[in-house]
Amino acid sequence: MKERTERMIELGFIREPDRVVAEIEKAAAAMHRDGWVFLHTRTDPDLNTVVLVFEKELEN
C-alpha cells in the first residue's frame, strides 16, 4: 500500500523566480531524504501555487 502527500509552494507574480525554484528544490530534497518519491506537480489556474505530489510505500 502507498501513502501520498503534497507540499504547496506559493508562486505569485511578485516573488523572484530564483527564490521560488530554490524553495521547490529544498522541499523536494527534504521529502526525498525522508523516503518520498516525487510523482508530479499541479499549478493552480491563477498561478498562485504549485503543488508537489509525493508517495512512498507504507511499511508493515
The pLDDT tens digits of the residues spanning 1-59 come to: 999 999 999 998 888 999 999 999 999 999 999 999 999 999 999 889 999 999 999 98
> Using an 8 Å Cβ cutoff, are 55 and 36 in contact?
yes
- Name the residue range of residue 7's domain: 2-57
Per the structure, the count of domains in the chain is 1
Type of residue at 30: A
CB of 37 within 8 A of CB of 55?
yes
pLDDT at 55: 98
What integer pLDDT is reported at residue 1 of this predicted model?
Answer: 93
Q: What is the pLDDT of residue 12?
A: 82
Instruction: Give this prediction's pTM.
Output: 0.86
